Amino acid sequence: MTKKRQILFSVIRGLLAILIALLVATLLIFLSADGGSFGAKLSATGDALKQLLVGPLFRMGRSGAAFDFKRLTDILASMIPIIFTGLSVCVMFSANQFNLGAEGGIMLGAFTTGMVAVYVPMAAFLHPVVGVLVGGLAVAAIMLLPALLKTKLDVSEMVCSLMLNYIIMYLIKYLMNTYLADKTKGQIQSYEFLETSKIAPLIDNGSKLSWGFVVAIACVVLIGLFMFNTRWGYTIRMIGINQAFAKYSGMKVATVIVLSQVLGGFLAGIGGGIEMLGRYPTFSWSSLPGYGWTGITIAILAGNNPWFVPFASFFMAYLTKGCELMATYANVPSQLIDIIQGVIFLFFAAEQFLSKYRQKLVVKTAQEELATKAALEAQKGGAEHA
Amino acid sequence: MPDEKTGRLDEEYVVQMKGITKVYPNGVAANQGVDFNLRRGEIHALMGENGAGKSTLMKMLFGLEQPTSGEIWVNGEKLTLSSPTVAISHGIGMVHQHFMLVPSLTVAENMVLGMAPRRGLFIDHAKAVAITKEYAEKYNLHVEPEAKVMDIPVGMKQKVEILKALVRGAKILILDEPTAVLTTQETVELFKELRHLKEQGYTIVFISHKLNEIMEITDRLTIMRGGRSMGVYNTCDVTKEEISRLMVGRDVILNVQKDKAQPTDVVLRVRDVEYVNEWHKKMLDKISFDVRRGEILGIAGVEGNGQKELVDMLFGFLTPNAGTVTMQSENILGLSQQKLRDKGVALIPEDRMLYGIAGSASIEENLISDRSAEKRLNRGPLFNMKAIHDEADKLIEDYAVLCKSRKQQVGMLSGGNIQKVVVAREFSGNPLLILADQPTRGIDVGATEFIRKKLVELSRSGIAVLLISADLAEVMELSDSLIVMHGGKIAAYFEDTSTLTDDVMGEYMLGLKAQSEEEIRRVCHD
């Protein structure tokens, strides 16, 4: 297939997967909608869908929908943590390492950075930078665990990192409950972050869109370059495609497998730190935040390509916002987002989805190529005769 | 006899494939409007370069693949062969190049797999053995019913495969490169058996690259090129040269020209190497030899006689139990592949799809895999993209890799072009020692010739080459001197390959003869 057709196919396939997910969502909304009659249910469904699809950017009023800048900034703000987890998963999956530790990673990063923000006084500019870096390094260090177990003892990194998420979560909960909580407050939370540690908002409209967003985009560029324009990223990708080939070619396979997971951990860690200092006044997470799981969806939507992560993140953030609005204004359970995600996921991951259409495109391209070749040869033959 | 359903005369042809076109999901048009037919009771050769579409055509006849368009008629009946089961039920059997046997089961158990005679809940072993014996007798294919498949020689495995097809009622047998793994003597035996089957009315399709064998055994032949049929011929009406011209569209020099080797100092020195595998089988037994600059040392032998273990050991994938291996007097045992490459060892791996390439990566990415960290390809932390593009373009040109661009996926290329990518990388990294393991296996004549010429050229420029090949013609033609391996030992050493004959080689390869220790020790140039 030509490159153009390949891209066209991917786009059509992606859009169709999303469309099918929305159809499933519509059906579920209809089933759970209020109203006694069919008509009432239908109109409730219509309202809910409007919130889901248009609501994230437009405020619905009597006079129609009006663009709402605040809502856009809300979406951009909620992209911050998932851009980081998306990048993290991209790097690890590219090396064919199914490390699912981004979830625990982002929580550990948030916690560690939070503790630096509470207990280690520093100058204003320095404080968030050091705090976030410490968070990143902590997660990078903990990812050595699944990575080294994999390379030294051939322990499945998937099982190991999955379990690690819960160990991290319960350890943090234990530390919070027992030693670190501000006992004067009604819920389990840390003492307030020092004023010097906070990441400044990018736009002051109460949206939580902080400078962290700029850092996130910068990281997309850095990781994009890293994966495609450096020898280390190249090695990661080659190992991901064919590990035996990488070893035979003289690449340091074990080292790079460890590197990919440590880097993945670092990205998840700074994501957690930035999210913490840009959005919250204290550390109060008492369970896994879910950003790591979303990161996996994003990496799959982006085809493990860092350059596509911002787009996939925007899509996921938009969808999440839409579901929130639906839950608020149209009385639809917010868990629906998980179902929609699941369906999209299913169709993206399904190798055979639309494979017949793909085969048709392939046949067409091949036939065209053969025709051009034949024409060229005929021309040549003609020229010789002349 | 007119068929009642179709009213057609099918006296002459048992199989007719008409206008077969097959486009694979990766866009390769493997067959384009191919016509192919088989007469009852003939041995019919299907010839062509690798990638010409022979295997695809036969896979469709055996129901492993379905044609994109075209018709298949068997015994005058139009069929949709949706699976091998359907093909077998219509009397079509296939013996694959890579045997489809269960190594841990006995011959008899393999024979009746999936159709086993039962006694109560259990397989009736006695009956399975009886069936095997009956068929072996009837078709004159001698096998040991109670031996485990992993313990029997390759030649017998093939007989088991043929018998398996016959037991299932095959009247038409497709043999995919049946002689590729056999010794000369085993090939002679196979031909005898095939003639016997032919006399009993069986129809045989014989897929092969080897011209001599085609001339000897087949009645008619169909030649394929670039997915099209180049015509059907009576074997007695065409010459080898004509066939080769039809296959590749030009005259191929089947002999590589080379002047006499002038070997100088020893590069690789292997002494008393022993290796016992995980099943406690001694795969390498006191192996000693030297490879010198400027010569090609060949290693001949039937596959499975320690060649694979030897190569794995030389390239750091395996540690021997005893012995030493040095390169320019420095130990290289236990070194990583990276260190070995730094010392100037290059390897053309036997399994190019597993080790040689990263299939879904681009040609360019595959060409730089051993040199991505080199200074000239990097600028600070980033790749120097221009240098990399130049390097890739140069190698593609120098090694005549047929492709659309350096960005094309390497897995989409034909076998010969994939191998050219591997060879381009391995030969261009300033090697001191080249390990060429089956360098031309299963690739087209053009690429084969190109790679062989390059090997000779490099050896004459002062590089040491160790050539391991199961293709007897190849080792004998290319090597300056030659080792024969049998049962993990060196069975013979020939200082000069020009006077050797296939028969002599065959005797050493099969272990019928072995040289004395003094004769073999001549390969060590102490």
Per-residue pLDDT, A352: 64
Question: Is the reported ipTM for this assembly greater than 0.90?
Answer: no
Parallel/antiparallel/unpaired status of strands B378-379 and B29-39 = unpaired
pLDDT, tens digit, 9 for 90 and up, residues B143-163: 888 888 888 877 888 889 888
Return the percentage of chain B with pLDDT > 90, whole number.
42
pLDDT band per the 50, 70, 90 thresholds, residue B51: low
CA distances for B128 relative to A133, B110, B118, angstroms: 70, 9, 9
DSSP state of B53: S
Which runs of consecutive H residues, i.e. helices, occur in B469-516? 472-478, 502-509
- The Cα–Cα gap between B193 and B412 comes to 39
pLDDT, tens digit, 9 for 90 and up, residues A282-308: 999 999 999 999 999 899 888 899 999
Q: Name every residue whose Cβ is closer than 8 Å to that of residue A106 and which is 6 or more positions away in sequence.
A: A81, A84, A85, A139, A268, A269, A271, A272, A275, A289, A291, A292, A295
Chain A residue with Cα closest to B69? A363
What are the extents of the domains in chain B? 1-91+172-177+204-252, 254-344+431-526, 358-430
Q: Average model confidence (pLDDT) for chain A?
A: 87
Exposed, middle or buried: residue A114 (CB in 10 Å: 0-12, 13-18, 19+)? Answer: buried
Per-residue pLDDT, B26: 60
The letter for the amino acid at A270 is I
- The Cα–Cα gap between B71 and B37 comes to 12
Q: Which CATH code is given to the segment(s) B1-91+172-177+204-252?
A: 3.40.50.300
Per-residue pLDDT, A30: 84
Per-residue pLDDT, B97: 75
pLDDT band per the 50, 70, 90 thresholds, residue B248: low
Interface residues of A toward B, Cβ cutoff 8 Å, are 1, 225, 229-231, 234-235, 237-238, 241-242, 244-252, 355, 358-359, 362-363, 365-367, 370
Lowest mean pLDDT among A208-212, A216-220, A223-227, A366-370: A366-370
pLDDT band per the 50, 70, 90 thresholds, residue A102: very high
Query: What is the spatial order of strands in the sheet that B13-23 belongs to?
Result: B29-39, B13-23, B69-74, B77-79
pLDDT band per the 50, 70, 90 thresholds, residue B9: very low
Cβ separation A247–B382 shorter than 8 A: no
Q: What does the block give as tokens for B100?
A: 């489809």
Chain A residue with Cα closest to B353? A245
Q: Is the pLDDT of residue A95 over 80?
A: yes
CA distances for B332 relative to A249, B205, B319, B388, B520, angstroms: 17, 47, 11, 30, 24
Mean pLDDT, residues B463-490:
89
Q: Average model confidence (pLDDT) for chain B?
A: 86
Cβ separation A249–B370 shorter than 8 A: yes
Q: What does the block give as tokens for B230?
A: 């180049």
Q: Is the pLDDT of residue A382 over 60?
A: no
Per-residue pLDDT, B6: 44
Chain B residue with Cα closest to A241? B358
Per-residue pLDDT, B3: 42
Mean pLDDT, residues B64-81:
90
Is residue B487 within 8 angstroms of chain A, CB to CB? no
Largest alpha-carbon pair distance within chain B?
Answer: 79
B9 touches B2 (CB < 8 A): yes
Q: Which residue has the higher pLDDT, B317 or A36?
A: B317
Mean pLDDT, residues A349-359:
69
Is residue B358 within 8 angstroms of chain A, CB to CB? yes
CATH architecture of B254-344+431-526: 3-Layer(aba) Sandwich (3.40)
Nearest by CB: A252 against B29, B338, B340: B338
DSSP three-state, residue B410: helix
DSSP three-state, residue B507: helix
Cβ separation B354–A245 shorter than 8 A: yes
CA proximity to A277, closest of A123, A156, A163, A111: A111
- The Cα–Cα gap between A216 and A223 comes to 10
Q: Which one is the CATH code of A73-317: 3.30.420.40, 3.30.830.10, 1.20.1560.10, 1.10.3470.10?
A: 1.10.3470.10
pLDDT, tens digit, 9 for 90 and up, residues B310-335: 999 999 999 999 999 999 999 999 89
Per-residue pLDDT, A239: 96
Specify the residue for token string 């699944």: A146
pLDDT band per the 50, 70, 90 thresholds, residue A333: confident
In chain A, CATH 1.10.3470.10 sits at 73-317
pLDDT band per the 50, 70, 90 thresholds, residue A41: confident
pLDDT band per the 50, 70, 90 thresholds, residue A241: very high
Strands (E), B181-265: 203-207, 220-225, 228-234
pLDDT, tens digit, 9 for 90 and up, residues A180-200: 988 888 888 999 999 999 999
pLDDT, tens digit, 9 for 90 and up, residues A130-188: 999 999 999 999 999 999 999 999 999 999 999 999 999 999 999 999 999 888 888 88
Same topology, domains B1-91+172-177+204-252 and B254-344+431-526? Answer is yes
Chain B residue with Cα closest to A358? B25
Mean pLDDT, residues B224-252:
79
Cβ separation A366–B29 shorter than 8 A: yes
